[in-house]
């Protein structure tokens, strides 16, 4: 081997040895720095552990296996959050940015099969009014992408029925993350550009009485789709009536899909906001049962305008659409039966400006069409100004031909009244506010008859039925006019629902018109 060639070989080997030694040294330094960060930078109330840390300096990668984090209260050291990750992988760490730009830049962070368990009742709220940082950040951190794969999340409460939230197969991807000393003081301690998420099964305990489940959901490009939602009372109708002390509706809601388009959320000056261009509910089916034998709830019931106005966060939904919906309302007023029902089928609704951020005189408006009691066309035009403190509203309805005896499934068991005849057309307009209403009604009907039943609901009460025959006109024809018209006032019982208010407004006008 000649001298020049031997010299070249020695130089290459020397450079290679230096490079290998340097890589090993860098690995050791990086591993040491990471271990120091874990031990010193995280708050004292966070207990951390891991099996091993592997650093690959050539590719700028780092892998932590079986990492766990336990968070406890600073005051009493009670543990409330447990996090375990099978593998935490950090890929493509930009050493140049770390050494010369005084920032940490990472291309990708992935967490595989994390398990998160949180005990809500164990955590104590901090008494400090000044928000503390979740960790000390000495250099800004930039992460191009974070992937959290196949997460299992459980949140527990203190009660016997303790599962508050349960989710499996939860996968999240967040892009364009920035963390610095400013972001760690916020409620969401980082900035991000975009995120995606999906999950197999989600369960949420909405209240001590109702549970919500979702078969699967996905969030992508600022659009969320939830499939096969179910919101149900977890007790039977009779069991719910037995355990509650004040009346409460029994719910059974199923929803084929719920989509939220062009949404955004976050915090403005520590006030949460949520907004969307369009929310769509596809094929909702709702069954509501109320047992009136249970004591009334004397709590004040708010109209929808005040509900929106008083939300503790900013809500802006430009449009809400309901398609192919079905509603059945069942009410029980007597011990001897389970009550009667009314229904709306093929319900479609277009609702605009569901918001507490719009300014007057912009209004929330609802346009609803449905088939009432199987085949009676029913349409509603309802609007109100959320910012109007009197909660003024206009409710207009158009009801098509109705065979009166179809109402008997509701009126007989609850009111001891049997109806006969036909209403051909009914129009009414309710001009109301939170205290009172004035209703103008116009109705065309024929061969109408009201039979009052005895207390057992089986036999005719001849005396009262004769009186109703005297005072109620059999048809609406009056001279050359085929409609009867009337107006009536109604005073709202604020301990009753908005639908009770609408009903007594129409009832008063109907009685005034037909008598």
**Helix, strand, coil % (nearest 5) of the chain?**
20, 50, 30
Radius of gyration (C-alpha) of the chain in whole angstroms: 33
Structure confidence at residue 17 (pLDDT): 43
Distance in angstroms (rounded) separating the CA atoms of residues 376 and 201 = 39
pLDDT confidence of residue 306:
96
Nearest residue to 26 (alpha-carbon basis) of 95, 77, 101: 95
Cis peptide before 234 (omega within 30 of 0): no
| The pLDDT of residue 91 | 84
For 330, the token pair is: 């069942």
* Closest-CA residue to 114 (of 79, 141, 82, 146): 82
* pLDDT at residue number 430: 97
Q: What pLDDT score was predicted for residue 314?
A: 95
- Which residues lie closer than 8 Å to 179 by C-beta, 6 or more apart? 137, 140, 141, 143, 189, 190, 191
Query: What is the Cα–Cα distance from 499 to 491, expressed in whole angstroms?
Result: 13
What is the distance between the alpha carbons of residues 40 and 35, in angstroms, rounded to a whole number? 8
Distances in Å between the alpha carbon of 6 and those of 9, 12, 13? 5, 10, 11
Question: Can you tell me which residue has the tokens 């929803």?
Answer: 255
Nearest-angstrom CA–CA distance, 429 and 438: 8
- Rounded Cα gap, residues 358 and 284, in angstroms: 28
Question: What pLDDT score was predicted for residue 380?
Answer: 97
State both tokens at 29: 């330094």
Sheet strands (E) in 400-510 = 402-403, 417-432, 436-452, 484-491
Q: What is the DSSP letter of 103?
A: S
| Cβ-contact 257, 299 below 8 angstroms | no
Classified as helix, coil or strand, 354 is strand
Query: What's the per-residue H, E or C state across 287-350?
Result: EEEEECCCCCCCCCCCCHHHHHHCCCCEEEEEEEEEEEEEEEEEEECCCCCCCEEEEEEEEEEE
Name which of 424, 421, 427, 342 is nearest 379 in CA terms: 427
From residue 322, alpha-carbon distances to 235, 257, 352, 364, 365 in Å are 27, 11, 12, 15, 14
Say if CB 134 and CB 126 are below 8 A apart: no
The two tokens of residue 288 are 């509501």
- One digit per residue, the tens of pLDDT, for the chain of length 515 reads 555 544 444 444 444 444 444 444 445 555 555 556 556 666 777 777 878 877 765 556 788 889 888 988 888 888 889 999 999 888 887 766 666 667 778 889 899 999 999 998 888 766 555 556 556 666 788 889 999 999 999 999 876 668 999 999 999 999 998 888 777 777 778 888 888 999 989 999 999 999 999 999 999 989 999 999 999 999 999 999 999 999 999 999 999 999 999 999 888 888 899 999 999 999 999 999 999 899 999 999 999 999 999 999 999 999 999 999 999 999 888 787 767 888 999 999 999 999 999 999 999 999 999 999 889 999 999 999 999 999 999 999 999 998 877 776 666 665 666 677 788 899 999 999 999 999 999 988 888 777 766 666 666 666 555 666 655 666 666 545 678 889 999 999 999 999 989 988 988 888 888 76
User: pTM for the complete prediction?
Assistant: 0.83
Q: For residue 236, what are its two tokens?
A: 């039977």
First to last CA, the chain: 123
Task: Show Cβ contacts of residue 129 under 8 Å, excluding neighbours closer than 6 positions.
Answer: none
The per-residue pLDDT for 37 is: 58
Surface-to-core class of residue 143, CB atoms within 10 Å of its CB (0-12 exposed, 13-18 middle, 19+ buried):
buried
Cα(502)–Cα(393) distance, rounded to whole angstroms?
A: 11
Separation of alpha carbons 314 and 358, rounded Å: 10
CA 440 to chain centre: 36
For the record, the structure tokens of 122 come out as 């164990």
> What does 120-181 look like in DSSP terms, one character per residue?
GGGPPPP--SSPPPSS--SS-EEEEEEEEEEEEEEEE-SSSS-EEEEEEEEEEEEEEEEE-T
Residue 473, CB half-sphere, CA atoms under 13 Å: how many?
19
């Amino acid at each position: 081997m000649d001298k020049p060639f031997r010299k070249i070989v020695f130089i290459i080997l020397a450079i290679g040895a230096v490079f290998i030694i340097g890589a090993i040294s860098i690995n050791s330094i990086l591993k040491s720095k990471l271990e120091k960060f874990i031990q010193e930078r995280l708050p004292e109330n966070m207990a951390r552990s891991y099996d091993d840390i592997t650093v690959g300096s050539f590719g700028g990668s780092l892998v932590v296996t079986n990492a766990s984090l336990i968070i406890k209260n600073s005051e009493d050291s009670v543990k409330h959050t447990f996090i375990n990750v099978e593998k935490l992988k950090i890929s493509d760490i930009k050493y140049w940015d770390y050494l010369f730009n005084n920032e940490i830049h990472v291309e990708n962070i992935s967490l595989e099969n994390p398990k998160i368990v949180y005990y809500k009742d164990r955590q104590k709220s901090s008494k400090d009014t000044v928000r503390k940082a979740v960790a000390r950040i000495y250099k800004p951190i930039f992460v191009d992408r974070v992937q959290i794969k196949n997460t299992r999340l459980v949140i527990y409460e203190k009660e016997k029925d303790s599962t508050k939230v349960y989710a499996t197969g939860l996968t999240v991807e967040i892009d364009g993350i920035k963390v610095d000393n400013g972001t760690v003081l916020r409620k969401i301690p980082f900035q991000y550009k975009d995120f995606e998420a999906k999950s197999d099964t989600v369960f949420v305990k909405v209240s001590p009485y109702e549970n919500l489940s979702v078969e699967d959901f996905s969030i992508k490009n600022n659009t969320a789709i939830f499939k096969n939602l179910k919101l149900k009372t977890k007790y039977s109708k009779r069991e719910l009536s037995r355990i509650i002390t004040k009346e409460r509706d029994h719910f059974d809601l199923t929803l084929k899909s719920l989509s939220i388009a062009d949404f955004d959320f976050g915090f403005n000056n520590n006030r949460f906001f949520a907004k969307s261009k369009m929310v769509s509910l596809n094929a909702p089916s709702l069954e509501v049962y109320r047992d009136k034998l249970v004591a009334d709830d004397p709590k004040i019931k708010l109209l929808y305008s005040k509900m929106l106005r008083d939300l503790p966060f900013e809500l802006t939904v430009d449009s809400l659409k309901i398609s192919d919906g079905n509603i059945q309302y069942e009410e029980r007023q007597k011990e001897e039966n389970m009550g009667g029902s009314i229904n709306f089928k093929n319900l479609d609704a277009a609702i605009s400006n569901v918001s507490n951020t719009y300014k007057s005189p912009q209004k929330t408006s609802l346009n609803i069409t449905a088939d009432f009691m199987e085949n009676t066309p029913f349409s509603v035009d309802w609007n109100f100004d959320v910012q109007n403190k009197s909660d003024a509203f206009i409710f207009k309805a158009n009801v098509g031909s109705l065979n009166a005896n179809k109402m008997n499934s509701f009126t007989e068991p609850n009111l001891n009244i049997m109806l006969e005849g036909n209403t051909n057309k009914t129009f009414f307009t309710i001009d109301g506010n939170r205290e009172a209403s004035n209703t103008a009604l116009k109705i065309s009907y024929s061969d109408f008859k009201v039979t009052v039943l005895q207390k057992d609901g089986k036999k005719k009460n001849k005396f009262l039925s004769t009186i109703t025959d005297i005072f109620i006109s059999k048809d609406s024809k009056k001279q050359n006019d085929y409609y009867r018209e009337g107006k009536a006032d109604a005073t709202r019982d604020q301990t009753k629902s908005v639908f009770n208010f609408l009903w007594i407004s129409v009832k008063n006008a109907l009685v005034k018109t037909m008598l």
